[in-house]
Structure 1
């Protein structure tokens, strides 16, 4: 006898957990890479309202809209 371990050598279903652990590591690395490559609000690339607000500021700076319209649209975007 082999010390009560039988033919499997004492591993049993350990290979399943090894595969699951490897998959968990791969998924974790993929999530980390995606998180690190995502644009942040500090970059000014937050999308949505941040991008629209930047465009609004540019239009106001070029004189395409007056201050009253700028303030109204800015108020609408921030809410």
Structure 2
């Protein structure tokens, strides 16, 4: 009888560990949102001040050129 008691403790600890492992570091907005497009990343970086306006324009032109199938 004592062996089953320890089995159930281990079972519940393992189950809690699985939930913690798969849920760790995930926020609600990361679970269902699609990945950002390159244009969205560039806009976010401009808004955060990581790139200058000139650098933004250059990179945007490059992205637009690469996305255009005629060019």
User: What TM-score do the two structures reach when normalised by structure 1?
Assistant: 0.40
Larger radius of gyration: 1
User: What TM-score do the two structures reach when normalised by structure 2?
Assistant: 0.42
